[in-house]
Structure 1
């Protein structure tokens, strides 16, 4: 194949681009053949392929499948499903390999691919290697194209969860799916579990006409908060565009951010299994370590990124991981992939043990913190800025500096984090402290050091 393929779409955790500009049908076919070539080398016979609700999904899926089959590898087409159902299919159909065609929480004009092969999620060098194969023409073409079969795995996914998760009492829950692919499945599953569901934007619409399907941004939870205040639901949940992330809102409208969700889930697991290893990313609260350790668990900090967290979980044999962006990974009674819909069922399982479903949420340790803040940069400059900060900044008053992913500076009463995003040209900042005064001091202190190494940086506070 000689068509040029854009290097820019090969990101750290997945492939992502603007449809028909950087991510074309030709590119998807080439990527499919590269994946198929790799599968052929690893003796993988079949790959599961699914897609989210984006308008470009069907044709990109068709092109990808054509490429995979060209390399002689068979395809299970599991249709339009949340990304976690694709992950589930790789276990259920025993392929260990799958591709989700999804733009996740990006605007409608985007789409992308999340990939796993032979039980490993592709990231970093593994994704870059696909690009190298395509441009060098190192692609295998089989004499006979691979097989093709449509399979509906949703009934098995629902049955598996219903056989395991049990609610202690009926509960009324508001579900905001942001018109993403998770809506219909989440409503069906939660109803079968015994919950009464108030549906919000649960019809799939790739134009996302109501709000952006990204529950990590507070502005996308405004409708859910309003519903909880006016309605008789006890709790609210929200999903991102492809259903692998969870947002949670308490009855009074308080957002329970994912690092606090992680404490709730970790506490539940540790009540049944002492010594469990709990992984969290660098953006999470300082409260998580004492919370886990006081309950007999082992706490491990990881780089941010769903692929990197899965790799870390394997390395340390973790029972659970939580990421600040809303990716929640259960590996105690579930196969260890990030699944917002399954996480919602586990949430309801915990809160229905209480007469007041919000009590366990409100009892979680809390701190004064900022949401994710961003410094916009030129492409690649975000890495340079954080590197300079890490090398040159002086934090003599800090008690610890962690450099596993960017720079996280810990004081006795709070922390500051700066890390380069692997998906967009920004530096991600996050701050947390015991008090409002401490938060202001830490933010001011960090800002001073950033401006010393990057005087023109547009700092958002």
Structure 2
């Protein structure tokens, strides 16, 4: 008989969540064991109930059932929130005062994947806390209670929608195209925006775990082509896209320009600072250099964080931030909202700002811009991505640079641009990003970075 260490793959215990291929690395048995581990930890932290929800993936119902079974085996109660966007699950942990919840979601991964995003006692689990769950399972440090925890189905969607409808006010009617990519956010977002006063033109807003049209990941430009086409051919003023579980936002202007999340962050930060001078704004290392002068010129405090939604939340708590933006599209409001990443709520705040202008696209076009690359990747063997970046940090010479930031990989700042290399926490790649004031400066910075990378990794397969 196989031991638990032989039947459970450590590879699914990632930096920010648990994620694997359904029925291969992520099974019902694994979900039940994770549930027992979470229940055991909940007992120690005096948490009586854990909220559990799921996205629209086909495997969601049975994996959620297995997870809830495990939690209840450990004697902890479950609030079953049902099929909802991940942010609604986060909202339920505030609304039901548990501070604890699990979203069964594969986010933007292919259809055969699923995963678990977890929070316990008001802390989002990441890094060592997720590895500790693995250790608890393989060492059989799991509590089995004499009496299983209670179970209750709770519909928090009406409370979630009412909270937003009472908070966000549009200045005029507006027509928007909403592309949900057949993810879980579609029906809720259409209903909410319509009630807010938006004329919604829906695109792939029915939930379909096969994702038959395009992948629900607005950070990939090819997934925004349908949205651009409808904007070009119709009379809508703005395009909005959500990812598979609704915690990330994509924005496209009427003329097809993608407003990347670091520029969205400037728009939101400026709006908050207009009402709250001195507000603390957090952004991750991948964001534009323009964000700091933009925030500081408006009386704000700018704080750079490591990348990753869990790490951003921890940084926000540490510095008591009012807002955070991450280049991947996670947007966190903590001024009029409880501080979790919510693509749907962020889209309502976007529309609130845009409807103050006769031309909805004018505030977006006015945002500072730069010449930049999308996220580029150097493929490596498992674990080699971390070593490559460490060698770069230790050996590279950037005597011509103004600043070198090493909180997450290495970000080298010049007077006219920056280069970033950081090891991905989820896949064996080195993530690269470049930005500059001009195309010529961008080319120079890329050449300079290439030179130093090839010194420490001569065989690196560079994507530029």
- Alignment partner of 1:99 is 2:102: yes
The separation in 2 between residues aligned to 1:150 and 1:131, in whole angstroms, is 28
Report 1:27-426 matches (<5 A): 27-426=30-429
* 1:166 positional shift: 0.3
* 1:2 positional shift: 4.5
2:21 maps to which residue?
A: 18
Which blocks of at least 5 consecutive residues in structure 1 are unaligned? Answer: none
The separation in 1 between residues aligned to 2:393 and 2:96, in whole angstroms, is 45
The separation in 1 between residues aligned to 2:337 and 2:184, in whole angstroms, is 21
Q: How many residues align?
A: 461
1:429 maps to which residue?
A: 432
The alignment's TM-score, normalised by the length of structure 1, stands at: 0.99
The separation in 1 between residues aligned to 2:207 and 2:391, in whole angstroms, is 44
The separation in 1 between residues aligned to 2:322 and 2:426, in whole angstroms, is 27
The separation in 2 between residues aligned to 1:20 and 1:448, in whole angstroms, is 44
DSSP 3-state at the match of 1:236: strand
* 1:448 positional shift: 1.1
DSSP 3-state at the match of 1:409: strand
Which blocks of at least 5 consecutive residues in structure 2 are unaligned? Answer: none
The separation in 2 between residues aligned to 1:47 and 1:153, in whole angstroms, is 14
* 1:190 positional shift: 0.4
DSSP 3-state at the match of 1:79: strand
DSSP 3-state at the match of 1:163: helix
* 1:142 positional shift: 0.4
1:450 maps to which residue?
A: 453
The separation in 1 between residues aligned to 2:24 and 2:282, in whole angstroms, is 37
DSSP 3-state at the match of 2:206: coil
Q: Deviations over 1:177-234 (max 9, x none)?
A: 0110000011000000000000001011111111111101111111111111111000
The separation in 1 between residues aligned to 2:107 and 2:135, in whole angstroms, is 25
The separation in 1 between residues aligned to 2:60 and 2:172, in whole angstroms, is 39
The separation in 2 between residues aligned to 1:72 and 1:417, in whole angstroms, is 46
Q: Deviations over 1:442-461 (max 9, x none)?
A: 01111111111111111111
Q: Deviations over 1:361-380 (max 9, x none)?
A: 00000000011011111111
The separation in 1 between residues aligned to 2:3 and 2:133, in whole angstroms, is 15
DSSP 3-state at the match of 1:329: strand
DSSP 3-state at the match of 1:192: helix
The alignment's TM-score, normalised by the length of structure 2, stands at: 0.99
Q: CA RMSD in A?
A: 0.7
The separation in 1 between residues aligned to 2:217 and 2:276, in whole angstroms, is 32
* 1:5 positional shift: 1.2
The separation in 2 between residues aligned to 1:145 and 1:136, in whole angstroms, is 22
DSSP 3-state at the match of 2:271: helix
The separation in 1 between residues aligned to 2:202 and 2:378, in whole angstroms, is 36
* 1:13 positional shift: 0.3
Q: Deviations over 1:254-275 (max 9, x none)?
A: 0000000000000000000000
